[in-house]
Structure 1
Amino acid sequence: MTTTSAPATAARTAHPLRVLMCAPEHFTVSYEINPWMDAATPVDVQRARAQWDGLRAVFERLGHAVEVVPAVPGLPDMVYAANGALVTPQGSVGVRFLHPERAGEAEAYARWLEQHGLGPVHRPVHVNEGEGDLLVVGEHLLGGHGFRTGEAAHREVEEVLGRPVTSLRLVDPRFYHLDTALTVLDDDPEHPDVAYFPGAFDEASRRTLEELFPHALLTDDATAEVLGMNAVSDGLHVVLSPRAQRYAQQLEQRGYVPVPVDLSELLRGGGGAKCCTLVLRR
């Protein structure tokens, strides 16, 4: 493995992003497939939409291009666009959800990508929940497994994209996707940078992360338990939960600019800023 991460004092530069989002038009918590969901408590749909609109506005204010896939009735979790695919210069990989409640999202996202010049989209054989568990960090492609995406999916992605996937095992059910426990702060191959919560990973995966990113920012349980790690960075600005105050301080010390966005209503479905954002890398 190559230790290419940058020191904490590296200069920070914002890079424009092209992202895909899905408005929470049909968002609700009508079933429970992760520890954050409570179907017994009604969702404030108007508040969820207002918070999502706020996130979109922040992205646009930062100079990022935002595209929106139409929401499909009966798919309340489609708002979590990160789970819709993995889009890279080497190709686009679709998804196959573990839970049948989300199965219909896969083809909705694949069709949108193909209709907008981001196909063909590979329809996976193995369970693979998109950017929730597959994160690009420079030349590295990190793959989470343990709760949703399986290791077999990592090998499938390697074959489709022609690039290796570093598998990381998640061991805390609160952090069922990799993007709930690790933030890609800078995916520039010249100075990749990440932050992660060590307690979400098994010992072997922690050793792997230490080797790959010796200068990584390490966070604590207080940050992780408010899904503070579920953040979106453009290399300078980091859009994150306002409840992750300690994390914001750590980011400032490393030269990043925290941009708090309240998504508390969408957190009730188990997602924050990153879950609502699929990066289109073409």
Structure 2
Amino acid sequence: MNDATRTMRRRTYLMCRPLHFDVTYSINPWMDPGRPTSPDVGLTQWKWLHDQLVDLGHRVVLIEPEPGLPDMVFAANGAITVDGRALVARFRHDCRTGESRAYLEWFRRNGWAEVAQARHVNEGEGDFLLVGDQFLAGSGFRTEPRAHEEVATFFGRDVVGLTLIDPRFYHLDTALAVLDDDEVMYYPPAFSPESRERLAADFPDAVLVGEAEAEAFGVNAVSDGVHVLLPEHGGRLAGQLAERGYVPIGVDMSELLKAGGAVKCCANELRGGPDD
């Protein structure tokens, strides 16, 4: 397929400015509290991503960052939304639980038809990615497997469970990205053998990502069906995407990567909200 046959779909994203960004604890292998961080650099990189999404024609809405919640910039973890319904995250680690309250308040204040907090540990779009009409759902490090059934019931959608086995790729969105309604890219060694078999069966034409690109968080990307925004040090992945007819756009996420997050972590796709 070439780019002439691909179709861009304008989307709405929820983002959070990294005004309080810092690495003060370690809950994934990328975080080192002893390593200096710069909120100013993080904000500059985040703003470039924000402005690029707007320039491409997407709508970006903001949730206000709160002091003491340095990971709130990673808005993808905050909730899952489909058809105007929002299921807000229940975080595994205590240091992030305050984010759930902030997201519950935001969705209720902004007129979403149905808002609830997950009963089971569920880290939002970090572990639930919508592909066509079904969810791919990760577990192994953060989200609990029993949250998969809860999501299926809440949204009335099929959920395909996938098990992550490499702690470097602790959320599904660090190991797999949705490129279009029927196409994904992923790093196979991040998944259990059973999950790799399922992915190979369901997506035989997927873009398979190498270790160097995965370690650079190249899979933590946002696609609108044509443009794919990904960390700029994604190596040969940009070429793989271009061969498929996509337009890769590199984004400098080096500061936010110190907390184990990149492009997709910063952008939560809102589906069917009151203003869509």
- 1:104 counterpart SS class: helix
- Kept after mapping to 2: 8 A contact 1:18/1:66: yes
Question: What CA distance in whole angstroms lies between the structure 2 residues aligned with 1:118 and 1:260?
Answer: 33
Question: What CA distance in whole angstroms lies between the structure 2 residues aligned with 1:279 and 1:50?
Answer: 21
The residue that corresponds to 1:3 in the other structure is: none
Does 2:46 match 1:52?
yes
The residue that corresponds to 2:37 in the other structure is: 43
| Aligned AA (2:180) | D
Question: What CA distance in whole angstroms lies between the structure 2 residues aligned with 1:90 and 1:207?
Answer: 33
The residue that corresponds to 2:17 in the other structure is: 23
What are the Cα deviations for residues 143-189 of structure 1, in whole angstroms up to 9, with x where unaligned? 000000011000111111111210000000000000000010013xx
Q: Give 1:224's match in structure 2, choosing from 192, 199, 214.
A: 214
Q: Give 2:178's match in structure 1, choosing from 184, 194, 200.
A: 184
What are the Cα deviations for residues 43-91 of structure 1, in whole angstroms up to 9, with x where unaligned? 1111001001101010011000010100011000000000000011162
The residue that corresponds to 2:204 in the other structure is: 214
How far residue 10 of structure 1 moved from its aligned partner, in angstroms, is 8.8
Number of matched pairs:
272
Structure 1 residues 10, 179: CA separation in 2 closer, same or farther (over 3 Å shift)? farther
Question: What CA distance in whole angstroms lies between the structure 2 residues aligned with 1:173 and 1:52?
Answer: 25
Question: What CA distance in whole angstroms lies between the structure 2 residues aligned with 1:85 and 1:226?
Answer: 25
Does 2:58 match 1:64?
yes
Does 2:165 match 1:171?
yes
Aligned residues: CA RMSD? 1.3
What are the Cα deviations for residues 16-64 of structure 1, in whole angstroms up to 9, with x where unaligned? 0100000001110000000110100121111001001101010011000
How far residue 110 of structure 1 moved from its aligned partner, in angstroms, is 1.7
The residue that corresponds to 1:198 in the other structure is: 188
| Aligned AA (1:108) | A
Runs of 4+ aligned structure 1 residues displaced above 3 Å come to 7-10
The residue that corresponds to 2:110 in the other structure is: 116
Does 2:251 match 1:280?
no
- Kept after mapping to 2: 8 A contact 1:90/1:162: no
Does 2:143 match 1:154?
no
Does 2:119 match 1:125?
yes
- Kept after mapping to 1: 8 A contact 2:129/2:137: yes
What are the Cα deviations for residues 109-147 of structure 1, in whole angstroms up to 9, with x where unaligned? 121112112242121110000000000010221100000
Structure 1 residues 265, 9: CA separation in 2 closer, same or farther (over 3 Å shift)? closer
The residue that corresponds to 1:98 in the other structure is: 92
| TM-score where L is the length of structure 1 | 0.94
- 2:76 counterpart SS class: helix
The residue that corresponds to 2:261 in the other structure is: 271
| Aligned AA (1:24) | P
Aligned residues: percent identity?
Answer: 50
Structure 1 residues 59, 84: CA separation in 2 closer, same or farther (over 3 Å shift)? same
The residue that corresponds to 1:74 in the other structure is: 68
- Kept after mapping to 1: 8 A contact 2:24/2:33: yes
Question: What CA distance in whole angstroms lies between the structure 2 residues aligned with 1:112 and 1:98?
Answer: 21
Task: Provide structure 1 residue ranges, at least 5 long, that are not aligned to the other structure.
Answer: 1-6
- Kept after mapping to 2: 8 A contact 1:90/1:161: no
| Aligned AA (1:94) | V
